[in-house]
Structure 1
């Protein structure tokens, strides 16, 4: 059904304070994936997929907000889930990572776990899809581009490697979420984006990202001009 990536990045803000940002991005050959699979808060990021149990994502992030480690939070949810064998669940928090692929997921399925990221997929053309997603992210981890843009790059790499194998399903979707522990005056418009129904979801997600970034630049420039006008005599 799906492949997705969850990411944790530590960074220093303009005040010299340590911050953490989290990101999750996903795509599938079905509409509306952004309503079902990706979840994130300032405590971590989670993706739930295969035979989707949305509560694994919702409760997973809630448990992270309550202070549980990602491994404890997600494993406890899976232990209480009668459909565990059909689930894929993975995520990151401020210190750790977690990956799970049930034995009843549809081939090809599997996951990759790095020091600060996780990738998982099912119903893929092969293992090389998740490997390509991981490699694309690792090649530009902590890069100058916004994390949202780099998540799109990672999805694109997986799609180019073959992606979801169900070529008879043309209506696809993609989504991303980025959060941070930083208290920002302006939330980035491009940090929560969805393309719900398209035959080119990743290309459309990239275009949406670029337009959202351009829109924010225009808004900030407008407010800067208004602030300058207020100071004129």
Structure 2
């Protein structure tokens, strides 16, 4: 039903301090994926999909906040999940990566683990979807564009490769979420948490929403005294 990507990027903030940002982006041929699959905090990013168990994402972030490594956190959650063979679960934290695809995830499913990222999908037209998502992210991993924008580009590459094979389901959705270690709890960029819940063109609409969010933020800064 879904393909997604989780990433970790290190960067230097305006004060010269080292920081980490975590991002997750997802799309599917069903409505409302942003409420179910993508999870992120200043400790990591997680995506839960296939026969989705939202608790795996929520508790995964809780375990990361408690200091567990992402491999230990997500593996422990799967070990306690009776439906684990129908799950896909993957993610990153400050140091590690984790990806799991159960044997009962349906047709044409799989995952990829790269340097600082994970990709997973199921019910895909073929393996090129995951390969193209990974390649698109790798090609921009050190780019200057915002991470949210680059994650949308990665989803677009997977969509261009065929994406979800269920062409009889026209209503789709997509979401992107970015969190960072820089001043946890501080309001981040307004383009870092965006969803398109029901549309026939999810990636194009998510990109348009991102561009509108950037433009709206710039307009607000220009016209009013807005605290960032």
Quick check: TM above 0.5? yes
The 1-side partners of 2:182 and 2:160 are apart by: 34
The 2-side partners of 1:72 and 1:183 are apart by: 26
Q: What residue is the counterpart of 2:121 in the other structure?
A: 121
The 2-side partners of 1:24 and 1:142 are apart by: 17
Instruction: Kindly indicate whether residue 134 of structure 2 is the aligned counterpart of residue 134 of structure 1.
Output: yes
The 2-side partners of 1:187 and 1:135 are apart by: 27
| Residues 73-123 of structure 1 deviation map (CA, whole Å, 9 limit, x = unaligned) | 000000000000000000000000000000001110000001100000000
Q: What residue is the counterpart of 1:182 in the other structure?
A: 182
C-alpha displacement at 1:133, in angstroms? Answer: 0.1
Q: What residue is the counterpart of 1:230 in the other structure?
A: none
C-alpha displacement at 1:164, in angstroms? Answer: 0.1
Instruction: Give the total of aligned pairs.
Output: 226
Q: What residue is the counterpart of 2:147 in the other structure?
A: 147
C-alpha displacement at 1:48, in angstroms? Answer: 0.1
C-alpha displacement at 1:223, in angstroms? Answer: 3.5
Gaps of 5+ in 2: none
Q: What residue is the counterpart of 1:156 in the other structure?
A: 156
Q: What residue is the counterpart of 1:32 in the other structure?
A: 32
Q: Could you tell me the TM-score, scaled by structure 1's length?
A: 0.95
Gaps of 5+ in 1: 228-233
Matches within 5 A, 1:1-233: 1-183=1-183, 187-223=188-224
SS at match of 1:155: helix
The 1-side partners of 2:89 and 2:5 are apart by: 11
The 2-side partners of 1:176 and 1:217 are apart by: 20
- Computing the radius of gyration from Cα coordinates, the structure with the larger value is 1
C-alpha displacement at 1:219, in angstroms? Answer: 1.4
The CA RMSD measured in Å over matched residues stands at 1.3
| Residues 146-196 of structure 1 deviation map (CA, whole Å, 9 limit, x = unaligned) | 000000000000000000000000000000100011128652000000000
C-alpha change, 1:72 and 1:186, in structure 2 (3 Å) is: closer
Q: Could you tell me the TM-score, scaled by structure 2's length?
A: 0.97
Q: What residue is the counterpart of 1:231 in the other structure?
A: none
